[in-house]
Amino acid sequence: MSNDAESILNIDGEEDLFSDSGVSESPTKAAVKTPVETPVETPAELQRESTDDTDTTMPKLRGDDFPQEYLDLVNRVRTQYSFLPKLDYRGLYAELSDLSIQSTPTPTLQTINAELSKVQAFKDRLAEIYVDVLQCHNIKKRAVDILKDGWGRYANEKSADRRKGDATFRLSDFEMDFAETEALLKACNHVIKNLDSLHDNLSRRITIRQIQLKLGNTRTGLPDFDFDPDDDPLNKEPVNPSEGIEPEEKSFDSL
């Protein structure tokens, strides 16, 4: 056997798969691929991803040294925030300031009906705004409570006041975002009360006008009595009480 054949075959007569000769590699060896190592992200990198977001409206954490479990909780909260309606606070405040009506001092029924229709249209629009604001308020309020209570598990401060202050500092962006939503909700409630009061006032005016019209029609249907002062019994001479009617004697004959 030649030297080339010996280099290809091993002692048992099988083909040497690891030969350095010009023979091509077997399909089994060609199919095996070296696994590619994926870089493991450190907690600092995950923290940077959770805070350095392109969405500037999303609240961010303050400080550093956050545990991985807490960063996962923050990311879940931020994901929930992304599903909430986007509130244009400046535009909504401007719209709320326009939801008012100057009532007429002496309105007619047509004027009152027009004002009632406008009030109802304002209340319908305000209901649409209120639903979105209330949804954001409830979710953000609960999220802030969860994040503040959850941070107490990892805080290194000794006293309760220092742990509370540390949580407030780290979650200050979440707190301010919730405060802005809460202020808008209170403004919506204030406008709702004003519109309800105006609606009740206009309804009472309609009732009063209807009563006035009904009384006016009834008054015109009554006869107009014009009493003569001379025929008034009170204007006649007073009757002398000593002058009574004397009955005739025949009235007592039957007795």
The mean per-residue pLDDT over the stretch 112-137 comes to 92
If you average pLDDT over every residue of the chain, what do you get? 75
Q: How confident is the model at residue 236 (pLDDT cuts 50, 70, 90)?
A: low
Residue 9 forms part of a structural domain: no
The more confident residue out of 2 and 142 is: 142
Measure the CA angle with vertex 59, ends 53 and 65; round to 5°. 80
Give the count of domains, the chain. Answer: 1
pLDDT at 240 over 80: no
Residue 136 is assigned to a structural domain of this protein: yes
Instruction: Note whether residue 172 is domain-resident.
Output: yes
Residue 90, CA atoms < 13 Å, CB-side half-sphere:
0
pLDDT tens string 165-177: 888 999 999 999 9
Give the range of the structural domain holding residue 112, as residue numbers without chain letter: 62-83+105-218
Residue 7's pLDDT is 46
More confident residue, 216 or 12: 216
User: Which pLDDT score, from 0 to 100, does residue 54 have?
Assistant: 44
Pick the range with the lowest mean pLDDT from 53-62, 102-111, 160-169.
53-62
Per-residue buried b or exposed e for 190-220, using 16+ beta carbons within 10 Å of the residue's own CB: ebbeebeebbeebeebeeeeeeeeeeeeeee
Q: State the DSSP string of 1-39.
A: --HHHHHHB-TTS-B-TT--SSSPPPHHHHH--PPPPPP
Phi/psi of residue 247, each to 5°? -70, 150
**Tokens 């870089």 belong to which residue?**
39
Question: What's the confidence (pLDDT) of residue 158?
Answer: 79
Q: How confident is the model over 47-55, as a mean pLDDT?
A: 46
Question: What is the average pLDDT across 33-61?
Answer: 54
pTM recorded for the entire structure? 0.61
* Residue 46, both tokens: 């995950």
Q: Specify the higher pLDDT residue, 56 or 208.
A: 208
Is 69 part of a structural domain of the chain? yes
Q: Which pLDDT value is given to residue 171?
A: 92
The answer on pLDDT for 239 being more than 70 is: no
pLDDT of residue 122: 92
Domain-embedded: residue 74:
yes
7 vs 172, higher pLDDT: 172
Mean pLDDT score, 50-79: 80
pLDDT confidence of residue 107: 74
The 10s digit of each residue's pLDDT in 175-205 is 999 999 999 999 999 999 999 988 888 888 8
Percentage of residues of the chain with pLDDT beyond 90: 33
Mean pLDDT check: name the lowest of 39-48, 103-112, 158-167, 243-252: 39-48
pLDDT at 115 over 70: yes
- Predicted confidence at residue 51, as pLDDT, reads 42
In this structure, is residue 39 part of a structural domain? no
Those residues whose C-beta lies under 8 Å from the C-beta of residue 126, and which sit 6 or more positions away, are 96, 99, 188, 191, 192, 195
